Amino acid sequence: MTVAVSLSLEARIKAQAFGLGFDLAGICRLGPSETADAFEAWLERGYGGTMEYLARGREKRRDSRLPVPGTSSAIVVAMNYGGREPGGPVARYARGRDYHEIMVERLQSLHQWLNEELGHSITGKPYVDTGPVLERDLARRAGLGWFGKNTNLISPSLGSFFFLGTLLVDLDLAPDVPFEADRCGTCTRCLAACPTDAFVAPRTLDATRCISYLTIELKGAIPLDLRTDVGDLLYGCDICQEVCPWNVRFAKPLGDESPYAARDALSGRDSRHLAREILDMGPEEFSRAFRSSPMKRAKLRGLKRNAAVALGNAGTREDADVLTRAIADPEPLVREHAAWALHRITSR
């Protein structure tokens, strides 16, 4: 005898999210943001550096019901980007397709499925690292994990190598139990491992010292006192995640069809090889190599700046040729960093 089991709408939503390729899914109610005050204080201390866009939408950020009027629940999802992949000069999240595109497309598909499942259109909007939404706040409230000392959300089953996204909807959904525990304990490996001492305190990052900020968000010169600490990293940094015991034990590999697998322009290249290629790139070659890549955020001038610093730290006299060519680059930013790097490798 077969007994029919009727699943709740919440269970069906999560099943659909998993079917769309998300690795975690949870639900929370919208309302006053628990971490808005801390975020505002962080900005006031100058820890956001030149990321002035972070201050936009201040009032909406204080209450997650405000970005999309009429919405009352958040469906929060996470998508693995491969914590088991080998380290390298480019952070794991940026090696494949732009996660904003992938996540938004799939959240839009989830929204369309909801419309069909309910038989009518519901108000809703996806957010993926954009807009006045504190996604970590919603993710913790949806039961996905806790805030680690390296400021990343950590899942007890997935670690922290994942993207977060949320679909705000006009539905009164039953929320999941918030994640209340702090499972970092006395561990401070992430804080001690940071090459630039970017952590002011546990769970407080001075972004202006973070290698990810320096190689991606910062548009000007990398400060002289931090250049050697950047090492041979070209775009982003995974160090504080790599040393986390939760990632050592629970990070997942990429699936065979993952859109976050390294693109041809990055696959199999060490830092020195990749830095030389970037320094010799023209605009058209850059556009072809990094089409639909999050690495385009730094623009070619930024990547060339980073490549020069990487060669200054990890290159040899054999790299003097490419740095000499870079000193003639049209961009003053590139010329200055190339000259710095050339001086370093020829002075050893």
Cite the active site residues: 129
The total of other beta-carbon atoms located within 10 Å of residue 173's CB is: 17
Q: HSE, CB side, 13 Å, CA atoms: give it for residue 130.
A: 10
Sign of CA dihedral 52, 56, 58, 60: negative
DSSP assignments along 236-290, one per residue: ---HHHHT-HHHHHH--PPPTT-TTSPPTTTTT--HHHHHHHHHT--HHHHHHHT
Distance CA 268, CA 263 (A): 10
- What are the beta bridge partners of residue 76? 26, 166
CA 220-225-230 angle, 5° bins: 75
- Burial class (CB within 10 angstroms; exposed 0-12, middle 13-18, buried 19+) of 49: middle
- Compute φ and ψ for 88, nearest 5 degrees: 175, -175
88-118 burial by CB neighbour count: b if 16+ within 10 A, else e? bbbbbbbbbbbbeebbbebbebbbebbeeee
